Structure 1
Amino acid sequence: MFDVAVIGAGMAGLSCAQRLRQAGYSVAVVEKSRGAGGRVATRRVQGSRADHGARYLEPQGDAVQGLIEALVDRHILKLWTDCVWQLRQGKLSAIPSSCYVAPAGMNAVGKYLAEGLEIWFGRRVKAISRTDSQMWHLSLEVTDDNLDIPQELIAKAVVVAIPAPQALMFLNSEMGFSPDFIDKLRSVEYDPCITVMAGYSAARKSDLNNLNPQWKSVSFPENSDLAWVGLDSTKRLDPQQPVFVVHSSANFADRHLESADLATVGQELLDRTSEYLIPWLKQPEWLQVHRWRYAFCRNPLPVSCLAAEGTLPLVCAGDLCGEGQIEGALRSGLAAANWVNSQLQDLPLDASLNW
């Protein structure tokens, strides 16, 4: 039995769990994937790393600024570029912006925030119910081959730190949650994104040196198919080959989200990218594609976290609340920790944003 069960090991879940753990609560984090960080994600491909989720961290507010400073001090993050580029009406223009990345992969941010936490990876919450002793009972579904971790969890309080549509798979009015609480969760909408990771022959390194592009990050605010392209290999300390990451627009992702042939979808995005940036981008040595069904929260709720009233302590947190994006997720996680603490022992919590 734990004091608190946190569902989801993304930015909100990790910040919430850390604040509660540091206050003295026993906390278990349940995560359906194999790693921490959620959409701050990195994949190993063909001996290279590619950040297929969050592109970089930039100072959005006090929460992210403090996290950046802590991670730079620990040599986890470095400044990648001091400007981002936009392509509008066929012209590239630079916009000043400090972008920080992890040479080891952006998932290093999640690993850092997960230090000291008990996280049950490879477990998806299948159902949630109340016990006779007024506790929450979580039934867990195995999503990997790790059978050593139990398939149920008992806790006094629950923090749901996953996208609203996923939360609604096990939160419903039949369990006694108010219609208002459920309606608010149902109102939250997300834009999807399809991400392509593409590696190129090592010989292309000399081509890049000759081209000497000024950009490392290019956004496409007016494009119907493309949202962003990054020269991902420039984040690494010793890249063996050029690696690019391409993010689709929401419209493109909507059209292709259920496609069974993701390789063809990825190639289509590379073809479009090659038209605007470098012709040989349509000829990768390898490519992988990832679909993010809930990439960006389109209309976050105007609250720091969403508590369920009239039941055992349960609160929803994440980029579905507040400001959205990483700043909103971190702040929502901390707000959820404060709310859970008020429902349990009301222990002294660290009010600062020190990471």
Structure 2
Amino acid sequence: MNSIIFDVAVIGAGVSGLTCAQQFKKAGYSVIILDKSRGVGGRMATRRLSGTRADHGVRYLEAKGEQLQQLIEQLKTCEPLENQLQLWTNTVYEFKDNKLQIPAISQPYYIIPSGMSTVGKFLAQGLNIRLNSRVNALTITPEKTWQCHIESINSNAIESSIIAKFVVIAIPAPQVLMLLEASNIAIESNFIASIKSVEYDPCITVIAGYSIDKSQALPKWRAVSFSDDKILDWVGVDSSKRLNPTQPVFVIQSNRNFAEQYLEETDLTLAGEQLIHQAANTLLPELKTPDWLQIHRWRYGFCRKPLSVSCLTTLTPLPLVCAGDWCGGNQIEGALKSGIEATNWLQTQTSVLKNP
């Protein structure tokens, strides 16, 4: 058991959790992040495969909102060049009424050649982060502190728990609910009811690579969104994000209705084939025969019904705060703001939380 008592334990190394932890670190508090994944960033995810990489979560950044604009400006000056935020396109085409259309309003869409996961790595700089560490329960110690019980995904890990004065839970709302129910602690009913009210849209993502054929030019578009397709939501030429692409790579993402059919399926091969087939029939016939493909399921892809507050708080039985894009909504901007607001709220609890 770890004898160190941290000021704050943050559960979740997504955008909101990383932002919250950075705020605490800058203020001089001891903070640790616990996350079940192998890397940071949450849905800001990039997969390495077949000698290349592809963004299978967040597609790009848009300069919407004060916090996101600030992050974009910081990322524009990162070194090296591969890690710098760059303009990808000013136009995401729309496919509706059975035809490809240019939207009435254009805006800049930014990407990072090294992958969108670089954003998470940027936000994680200098933080104490323990990956492959699933928090499966919370308990309260006799000293009135939180104890995070860790199920280690890495069998070589020694410590099985972390003690902290305060806890921030920055994971999707359904996972928060599962954690609190497993903890068997007395949480006020309104707090639980708020978490239960949050709803998500799932998404299935296909990454597909193709042979280089100079007789077949890539499409003029970088990305296409769908509003009325029976299974498609978005198709992007992911290889156009890379500095020196070795082959055409496309990312195809499903809509909610299609993804819900495969939420409990262990084999997503059929789902991937259907998405590839639909994209080929709708946009580009050459997409029908990829050299390779990988499929990923996002059970909590997009928050459809967020809370109206920027963070969810309770003082019973001890101060506890939840953060994420499901608090306040507005996707990445909301996640950034939620992390900051969670920090601000906990810092008001100064009777317990003090600088080291």
* Structure 1 residue 261 displacement after superposition: 2.2
SS in 1 for 2:136: strand
The question of whether the paired residues in 2 share the 8 Å contact of 1:194 and 1:257 is answered with: no
Whichever residue aligns with residue 77 of structure 1, its letter is L
The question of whether the paired residues in 1 share the 8 Å contact of 2:303 and 2:329 is answered with: no
SS in 1 for 2:90: strand
Partner of 1:69: 73
The question of whether the paired residues in 1 share the 8 Å contact of 2:232 and 2:253 is answered with: yes
- Equivalent-residue separation in structure 2 for 1:272 and 1:264 (angstroms): 12
Partner of 1:166: 175
The question of whether the paired residues in 1 share the 8 Å contact of 2:313 and 2:322 is answered with: yes
* Structure 1 residue 66 displacement after superposition: 0.8
Q: Does 1:6 align with 2:10?
A: yes
- Equivalent-residue separation in structure 1 for 2:191 and 2:6 (angstroms): 25
Partner of 2:258: 252
Q: Does 1:213 align with 2:222?
A: no
* Structure 1 residue 287 displacement after superposition: 0.4
Partner of 2:46: 42
- Equivalent-residue separation in structure 1 for 2:235 and 2:349 (angstroms): 45
1:17 corresponds, among 18, 21, 27, to: 21
The question of whether the paired residues in 2 share the 8 Å contact of 1:86 and 1:94 is answered with: yes
**1:267-318 deviation line (CA, Å, top 9, x unaligned):** 1100000011111201110000000000011111000100013322210000
Relative to structure 1, is the Cα distance of residues 193 and 130 closer, same or farther in structure 2, using a 3 angstrom cutoff? same
Whichever residue aligns with residue 36 of structure 1, its letter is V
Partner of 1:142: 152
Partner of 1:319: 325
Partner of 1:152: 161
- Equivalent-residue separation in structure 1 for 2:273 and 2:160 (angstroms): 40
5+ residue gaps, structure 1, are 349-355
Q: Does 1:274 align with 2:284?
A: no
Relative to structure 1, is the Cα distance of residues 281 and 336 closer, same or farther in structure 2, using a 3 angstrom cutoff? same
Relative to structure 1, is the Cα distance of residues 216 and 145 closer, same or farther in structure 2, using a 3 angstrom cutoff? farther
SS in 2 for 1:192: strand
Whichever residue aligns with residue 174 of structure 2, its letter is P
- Equivalent-residue separation in structure 2 for 1:330 and 1:41 (angstroms): 16
**1:78-135 deviation line (CA, Å, top 9, x unaligned):** 1000111100112212231211001001000000000000000001111101000110
The question of whether the paired residues in 2 share the 8 Å contact of 1:263 and 1:287 is answered with: no
**1:210-232 deviation line (CA, Å, top 9, x unaligned):** xx522101001111200000000
The question of whether the paired residues in 1 share the 8 Å contact of 2:25 and 2:31 is answered with: yes
SS in 2 for 1:73: coil
**1:131-160 deviation line (CA, Å, top 9, x unaligned):** 001100000011234415x22100000000
Q: Does 1:192 align with 2:202?
A: yes
1:330 corresponds, among 304, 314, 336, to: 336
5+ residue gaps, structure 2, are none
**1:20-44 deviation line (CA, Å, top 9, x unaligned):** 1111000000010010100000000
Q: Does 1:125 align with 2:135?
A: yes
- Equivalent-residue separation in structure 1 for 2:331 and 2:191 (angstroms): 22
Partner of 1:202: 212
2:86 corresponds, among 78, 83, 91, to: 78
- Equivalent-residue separation in structure 2 for 1:59 and 1:101 (angstroms): 12
- RMSD, aligned α-carbons: 1.5
Whichever residue aligns with residue 306 of structure 1, its letter is L
Partner of 2:31: 27
SS in 1 for 2:180: coil
Partner of 2:348: 342
- Equivalent-residue separation in structure 2 for 1:198 and 1:53 (angstroms): 14
Percent identical pairs in the alignment equals: 52
